[in-house]
Structure 1
Amino acid sequence: MPRSGAEARGRLQQAALELYRERGFDRTTTAEIAARAGVNERTFFRHFPDKREVLFDGEADLRAALVRAVAEAPAGLRPLETLLRAFREAEPILERNRPFAEPRLQVIAATPALRERDLAKAAALGEALAEALRQRGVPGRLAELAAATGWAVFHRAVQDWIDDPSPGLEAHLRRVFADLRALSAHDAPAPARPGA
């Protein structure tokens, strides 16, 4: 039996991931997750409002950390540089959730309702980043564009980090943001046309 709330939460997450991968998300109940974790169903609901949220644990912490990092970034940084700085500060949160990252993505990819929830969470996080940029004086449309672009770049870097953790998230962030700069450079070569 788990002795602490954090231990119970971790066991519930692990049990949910195991069951979702074995049986599928739709065919797994909260009672089965609780039983696998060695707790009762009431304990499950003390930690998570529903069985989807087990897979999105840490999202609120990530959002708060990113918004705070944007707010605390030095004055004078461009919007994308502000976001890059904020994304770097997210590494400890992501590292804590690393054991669940790849299996979590597999379960989400296989479940339409979870993909929808994932998109809604990403949209909310993007809006929170846009609002944080607006609070720094970035005009509305530019704040929204920077947040959407920055989030896409961050998502790519995190996926690369999940696939290859050895260089660390920081290295992946630097590389993907460099790719973005190269894409937007005036002298970037145009792609070859098919058949040319």
Structure 2
Amino acid sequence: MARWQPGARERLVLAAVDLFAEHGYDATTVTQIADRAGVTKSTFFRHFPDKRELLVAGQDALSRLLAEGIAGAADDATPLEAVAAGLTKASSFMGPMNRELGPRLKAAIAASTELQERDALKTVGLASAMTTALQARGVPTPLAHVASELGVLAFKQGYESWTATEDESGLAPHVLAALNDLKAATAALH
């Protein structure tokens, strides 16, 4: 594969996830990841500072999209409606590679304590981005935290549902269905 061929970042993520699942996170080297992706080691380091950062690839963009969607929600939107707008915007940027990555990523995370910790930090970061965006809309802090946590849970559940089906409708319907299920479940908490 030529060094100039586009998609190096995506190939690196896919290669890393596969290698982590096959050999374990600790046993996988940057050189192996670069070789599997068909790029040089220096190309790897142009995209990622180290192999730990592969798991959170795209987190900044996802956090930004969630926040933009929340900010762009109708002025009279409830906190969960604003979260739904953020989830819809973020979901619209998730394509076939994201779908293909789901089961492989889940297997790699399950096999590594370090990756489980990274995944937990990613979850905290996404919730924080949504909380900040909701607070900017004037949502009180406790309510912003609860809505954000429900949003993260809906995203995770919807993503898992989407990757487990052949449904071609995209991620958004799965995430919004999960959010609606969670919203209904919270009614039972009263």
TM over 0.5, shorter chain: yes
> 1:55-94, aligned counterparts within 5 Å?
55-94=55-94
Shift of 1:5: 6.8
Shift of 1:159: 1.2
SS in 1 for 2:94: helix
**C-alpha distance in 1, partners of 2:128/2:78?**
18
**C-alpha distance in 2, partners of 1:8/1:26?**
22
SS in 2 for 1:94: coil
Q: Which has the higher contact order (CA 8 A, sep 6+)?
A: 2
**Which residue of structure 2 aligns with residue 125 of structure 1?**
126
**C-alpha distance in 1, partners of 2:31/2:178?**
42
Shift of 1:4: 3.6
**C-alpha distance in 2, partners of 1:23/1:113?**
14
**C-alpha distance in 1, partners of 2:47/2:55?**
12
> 1:43-192, aligned counterparts within 5 Å?
43-95=43-95, 96-166=97-167, 168-185=170-187
TM-score, with normalisation over the residues of structure 1? 0.86
**C-alpha distance in 2, partners of 1:58/1:77?**
27
The 3 A distance-change label for structure 1 pair 11 and 176 is closer
**C-alpha distance in 1, partners of 2:175/2:64?**
19
Shift of 1:175: 2.5
Shift of 1:3: 4.5
Once superposed, which parts of structure 1, at least 4 consecutive aligned residues long, lie more than 6 Å away?
A: none
The 3 A distance-change label for structure 1 pair 42 and 174 is closer
One-letter amino acid of the counterpart of residue 152, structure 1: L
Q: Which moved more, 1:137-146 or 1:48-57?
A: 48-57
Q: 1:54-95 deviations in whole A, cap 9, x for unaligned?
A: 232221111111111111111010001110121011223322
SS in 2 for 1:90: helix
The 3 A distance-change label for structure 1 pair 69 and 189 is closer
- 8 A Cα contact 1:157 1:173, kept in partner: yes
**C-alpha distance in 1, partners of 2:86/2:56?**
20
- 8 A Cα contact 2:94 2:171, kept in partner: no
Q: Unaligned stretches of 5+ in structure 1?
A: 191-196
**Which residue of structure 1 aligns with residue 27 of structure 2?**
27
**C-alpha distance in 2, partners of 1:5/1:140?**
46
Shift of 1:36: 2.4
One-letter amino acid of the counterpart of residue 178, structure 1: N
SS in 1 for 2:51: coil
Using the aligned pairs only, state the percent identity.
39
Shift of 1:146: 1.1
The 3 A distance-change label for structure 1 pair 126 and 165 is farther
TM-score, with normalisation over the residues of structure 2? 0.89
Shift of 1:108: 0.8
One-letter amino acid of the counterpart of residue 184, structure 1: T
Q: 1:98-138 deviations in whole A, cap 9, x for unaligned?
A: 22121011101111000001101110110111010000000
SS in 2 for 1:164: coil
